[in-house]
Amino acid sequence: MKHVLIIDFGGQYSHLIARRIRELEVYGEFVSHTIDTGNLLEYVRESYGVILSGGPASVWEGKHDDIIKLIIKEDKPILGICYGHQLLARALGGIVQRSHKPEFGPTTVFLKVRDRIFKGIPNSFIVWMSHNDAVIEPPPGAEVLAYSHGSPVAAMRYGIHYGIQWHPEVAHTSYGMKLLSNWLDIIGAPRVWKLDIVVDKIIEDIRGVIGDSIAVAAISGGIDSTTATLIAYKSIGSRLKPVIIDHGLHPQGEPVRSIKLLESIGLKPILVDASDMFIEALKGITDPEEKRRIFGKLYAEVLEEEALKLGAEYLVQGTIYPDIIESGGRPGASIIKTHHNVAGLPRNIRLKIVEPLKWFYKDEVRRIARKLGVPEEIIKRQPIPGPALAVRIEGEVTREKIDIVRRADAIVREEIENSGIQERLWQYFAILLNSKATGVKGDNRAYGYVVVVRAVISVDAMTASIARLQWDLLERIASRITSEIPQVTRVLYDITSKPPATIEWE
């Protein structure tokens, strides 16, 4: 698929660039700077243009000199952002040094030249800066387009290449989307990433791939698997067999609630009870990555066995773009955590994998789901990790711990939903720690488990900020958990954003 290529140099806003490009109806492909040369060149050659992201490195280190030289050699339009701007300028012969006035946060930029990239943008405007270094002198032959008090070359043009010191992708930058839109016009990128058209094409492609064969769909009742299943159902109709695996690690009320919702939209899932198998397989396992791999392997085995009973050749999954990135599935990506439906699958699985949503971010999946008529209850349902409560139990998974965290999680959900703030939150749940703490219950010393409450705000799960819950709400949650679950003596609230943490505990 032809795209705008975003090369990530470790910047905290890099994923926002891809999302902004997609919002402008052009497909944005995201790869790490650690990608091997062969794959990099393939991505560059298939692109309309390349965006170099920000990052924590300094161009003085020379870490990415080879990458930028390769890209320039391919003669594709480049837009350098922040560190990417400095990298491009230095590679073309400009001078990058420590700025006499490092800029962080809101900064005024002044235009020197009314270039096409600034069409519809005023002569001075507020942008978001985050840099110590700056381009002090432009490359020979480059034109300085804008400056700020700490960046004499805040924007430049060198032939078909542009560089800007600020971050157009963040909401704090005025006219950021306008600038990106202008750049897309300049490079001639057609606005064809329209979700309804793309989904119609995916439906047609799946019909062509699966043909007259039977497929099973791994479905949990969450938005990703439900949407993927509906797309496949529109492709092949009754030859799609939705399967829900009861692994014994679902939150309270599941999977019964999911089955009822799925039946309301015409899907008739087959329920497979494999709870004893999963809990036995996880016995004695404490490493979170090992838990995910074991879960993924067993999940695939159970699905494969059911598929063979049904005569299926294909497996439809709700894998989305962040799953692939976090599991190291894109060339050059590092493994943050293994998703059971990506890296957790055994290589020798006999089913052919179909992933209708693998190019989409979560917010895009929600828009697709609405177009397909998925009930709002499913669309607004908070994400549940594939291994479910197994990764919300620190250390070994036991039946006692599953019961404790399930009950604690139900209390967290009930109190937050009763307070009416659930639609402002991305996720809210309970975690059971492996450690214990001393408490007092009924005038007697108690030594029990510690529960952590976590609630975050996010758009696409790539980054998340903490939810600042009211103290009275937190107090009610803590009081109920310690009162209604005898084994728990202490409740904590996690105030760590992503990054540095992940949303889930493990």
Core vs surface per residue 254-269: b (16+ CB within 10 A) or e: bbeebbebbeeeebeb
Residue with tokens 């140099």: 9
For residue 82, indicate whether it is catalytic: yes
The CATH number linked to 17 is 3.40.50.880
Final residue belonging to a domain, choices 380, 410, 429: 380
What is the per-residue pLDDT across 164-186, written as a single tens digit (0 to 9) for each?
999 999 878 999 999 999 999 99
For residue 61, indicate whether it is catalytic: no
The answer as to whether 259 is a domain residue is yes
Domain that holds residue 477: 399-493
DSSP classification of residue 61: G
Domain identity same for 54 and 75: yes
The answer as to whether 441 is a domain residue is yes
The model's confidence at residue 326, banded by pLDDT at 50, 70 and 90, is: low
Q: What mean pLDDT is predicted for residues 340-369?
A: 76
Task: Give the number of other Cβ atoms within 10 Å of residue 28's Cβ.
Answer: 23
Domain identity same for 182 and 231: no
Final residue belonging to a domain, choices 141, 168, 187: 187
Instruction: Write out the H or E segment, with its range, that includes residue 492.
Output: strand 488-493
The answer as to whether 391 is a domain residue is no
- From 15, 82, 339, 506, active-site residue: 82
Domain identity same for 214 and 244: yes
The CATH number linked to 424 is 3.30.300.10
96 has a pLDDT exceeding 80: yes
The answer as to whether 460 is a domain residue is yes
In whole angstroms, what is the distance from residue 205 CA to residue 319 CA?
Answer: 17
The domain total for the chain is 3
Beta bridge partners of 155: 146, 164
Higher pLDDT, 403 or 326: 403
Final residue belonging to a domain, choices 167, 187, 207: 187
The CATH number linked to 370 is 3.40.50.620
The answer as to whether 170 is a domain residue is yes
Domain identity same for 442 and 342: no
pLDDT value, residue 331: 41
Domain identity same for 374 and 410: no
Residue-by-residue DSSP string for 298-330: HHHHHHHHHHHHHT--EEE----HHHHHHBT-S
For residue 167, indicate whether it is catalytic: yes
Domain identity same for 321 and 413: no
Bond before 106 cis per omega within 30 degrees: no
Residue with tokens 């014994």: 248
In whole angstroms, what is the distance from residue 272 CA to residue 343 CA?
Answer: 23
Residue with tokens 């005025």: 174
Domain identity same for 299 and 155: no
In whole angstroms, what is the distance from residue 98 CA to residue 153 CA?
Answer: 13
Structure tokens at 321: 């773009």
- pTM across the whole model: 0.71
Higher pLDDT, 266 or 430: 430
- Three-state DSSP state, 237: helix
The answer as to whether 505 is a domain residue is no
The answer as to whether 498 is a domain residue is no
Domain identity same for 313 and 446: no
- Least Cα distance to 288 among 379, 388, 394 occurs for 394
pLDDT value, residue 382: 85
Instruction: Write out the H or E segment, with its range, that includes residue 427.
Output: strand 427-441
pLDDT value, residue 346: 57
Domain identity same for 373 and 406: no
- From 29, 103, 169, 254, active-site residue: 169
22 has a pLDDT exceeding 80: yes
In whole angstroms, what is the distance from residue 351 CA to residue 293 CA?
Answer: 18
345 has a pLDDT exceeding 60: no
pLDDT value, residue 193: 86
333 has a pLDDT exceeding 60: no
pLDDT value, residue 1: 78
Q: Do 58 and 133 touch, CB atoms closer than 8 A?
A: yes
pLDDT value, residue 347: 63
Domain identity same for 49 and 171: yes
- From 15, 161, 167, 247, active-site residue: 167
Domain identity same for 222 and 158: no
End-to-end Cα, the chain, rounded Å: 34
What is the per-residue pLDDT across 387-442, written as a single tens digit (0 to 9) for each?
899 999 999 999 999 999 999 999 999 999 999 999 999 999 999 999 999 998 88
143 has a pLDDT exceeding 90: yes
Instruction: Write out the H or E segment, with its range, that includes residue 17.
Output: helix 14-23
Q: What mean pLDDT is predicted for residues 262-269?
A: 88
The model's confidence at residue 148, banded by pLDDT at 50, 70 and 90, is: very high
In whole angstroms, what is the distance from residue 417 CA to residue 411 CA?
Answer: 10
Q: CA torsion, points 413, 415, 421, 422, in degrees to nearest 10? A: 10
- As a residue count, the chain comes to 506
What is the per-residue pLDDT across 186-239, written as a single tens digit (0 to 9) for each?
999 999 988 888 888 889 989 998 999 999 998 888 899 999 999 999 999 999
**What's the mean pLDDT when you consider all of the chain?**
90
Phi, psi of 466 (to 5 degrees): -70, 150
The answer as to whether 74 is a domain residue is yes
Domain identity same for 10 and 112: yes
